[in-house]
Structure 1
């Protein structure tokens, strides 16, 4: 009887050790999720049919909203392009940087000049955190960031400089490829920026135009 009891105890211990070892192995094998950040330009919450806009049809965005989490109280740190992108990349308000006066955007450098960034900022950008976590970094589309914060300098591989429809196709092609490591992909689209400006140009006449002067 004692032998049987000891055998059962021994068996139970072996099973517990096996379960523990299995759990540790599973923890090591846990695959980190790929992250795809789709970033549109100058889009407010009202610019989607899923938020009640009856003049727009946005099935792709509606699908994401329906099958994920939609935040109804989320705000940008700045309504202007480059400062908002600075905050997204660094997690800091734009006022924390010694930015010179704003200017017209030049290529992908954005509409602000930041001569340099501190080592603290360099090591706490979203790029730095994700690289430390073992992610490959990829970026496609509009950048408009000051030189020290350009995605290419921070370690992103630029897969496309296109900002419009072709960008979506190129990113979809990339997603279908085989990837050994988890990846973080930014898909930065310029619209509805251009759509809004074209609407203003074509339909919102100035007072001078209305008066024929």
Structure 2
């Protein structure tokens, strides 16, 4: 109820609206007859996590269970994949403590609930297999998003791939100014030349 009254969405971020809509089109949220796994691909820092997070926050309330598993590469190194798997299941089952040995209950949940799962910053195929397994386990209408820099990981594990585009010149300047000039969309005249050089150097 609180989410409906005050939805947590990412607004005002340069280029986020168009990119979110493009990813939503690939996910086909209105088609409940199938499961969809979409890879979000791009170089580090291009905005993969931001786009996936935006789509997740805009649509997670459509599902019976949902989880955004952040920075899997670093979290698995710190705590191990077993810990991340438990964290995912606890979130999907909405329980603080979960006996992962209760496979029957888990399988029943996965088969009977429509799920939305985001795996962020995946670097190894084993991470995908351990965390989400096979699509056949999930009820029709479930959606999975995998963000990664490695195209090879998506060849067998995604139905389609969304390549996050670079920012155009206007979006690049707006993003730079949001941080460099306390939320202003354009630099002051005295910093215009220097700002253009920064934006040109970053190349989108």
* TM-score (ref. length: structure 2): 0.28
Higher radius of gyration, 1 or 2: 1
* TM-score, with structure 1 as normaliser: 0.27
Q: Which has the higher helix share?
A: 2
The structure whose RCO (Cα within 8 Å, separation 6+) is larger is 2
